[in-house]
Structure 1
């Protein structure tokens, strides 16, 4: 089956002159030296390839095994050298593929944090996707560490580190 698909892709390029789109450029690859332990690296997808100065959609995933506590707030921090922009009106949260109602999304540009508040706490044990649409990628390529922190309901009001998305824009 793999050989057949490869042959079809190559044939279509030769006959039409168009290249097939590769999803590999928009997914995280193997990261050897990042400073982030493997168990703390979170999966993600950039729907439009992560090109500089272009609009993109970031699908930031949190695996079910990382969701050990219910979540009343998600906080995504990013480095000071990331100069992209976010659209707070185009943020969605999905739990096990189902959309969750949000009460508020705040973007603190000075503090470099996006805060997402679901109307009801997101239950523990489910796979979560944070979808940031209409993101304007930075003007310069690079590797950006987006950290995920959570606040559990009824907990001490301190954010807990959940993991890091290592996002590459080229």
Structure 2
């Protein structure tokens, strides 16, 4: 009987560990719907993603998704997201260095942030879009932020890159 209880205890511990380590990975586990796993982009909320609080969003685009140079980044968000952005506090980082920006436009009515670098961002590098001085919405929820890009000299149609699934508590 003692051996059976020991075996059950060891089995319970071993099967519980993968569940614990898997739960705290970003972007998290999507229960219903959402973009396919290969379209989910990594991110980080520097100050915890608390409702009605100030935060910094670090929206990352992996190098494998950056197969074209980028003349414009476009971030769209859902109509139920009621946060606020500061266009003066947006930064594009490539290889850890800030890229000079020509303009950042926050179109509140159409729920989109458009970022225009001075020079096109080269292909093949991880990019981090840093949105500082963000006021999170009063009420938490799950928000899908979609990323599209425009390549230099390309037909003026935005190309979908992926989605950040932000969770605000």
- Cα shift at 1:28: 2.6
CA deviation vs aligned residue, 1:51-101 (integer Å, no higher than 9, x gap): 000000000000000001000000000000000000000000001111100
Indicate the larger mover: 89-98 or 70-79.
89-98
- Cα shift at 1:32: 4.2
- Cα shift at 1:26: 9.7
**Mapping of 1:1-170 within 5 angstroms?**
27-170=26-169
Query: Is the 8 Å Cα contact of residues 26 and 45 (structure 1) preserved in structure 2?
Result: no
Q: Which has the larger radius of gyration?
A: 2
Q: How many residues in Structure 1 have an aligned counterpart in Structure 2?
A: 147
Aligned partners of 2:95, 2:85: CA distance in 1, in Å?
24
* Structure 1 segments (4+ residues) deviating >4 Å: 24-27
- Cα shift at 1:27: 4.5
Aligned partners of 1:143, 1:34: CA distance in 2, in Å?
12
CA deviation vs aligned residue, 1:104-129 (integer Å, no higher than 9, x gap): 00000000000000000000000000
Aligned partners of 2:100, 2:27: CA distance in 1, in Å?
28
Query: Is the 8 Å Cα contact of residues 93 and 129 (structure 2) preserved in structure 1?
Result: yes
Across the aligned residues of Structure 1 and Structure 2, the Cα RMSD in angstroms comes to 1.5
- Cα shift at 1:35: 2.2
Query: Is the 8 Å Cα contact of residues 41 and 162 (structure 2) preserved in structure 1?
Result: yes
Structure 2 counterpart SS, 1:65: helix
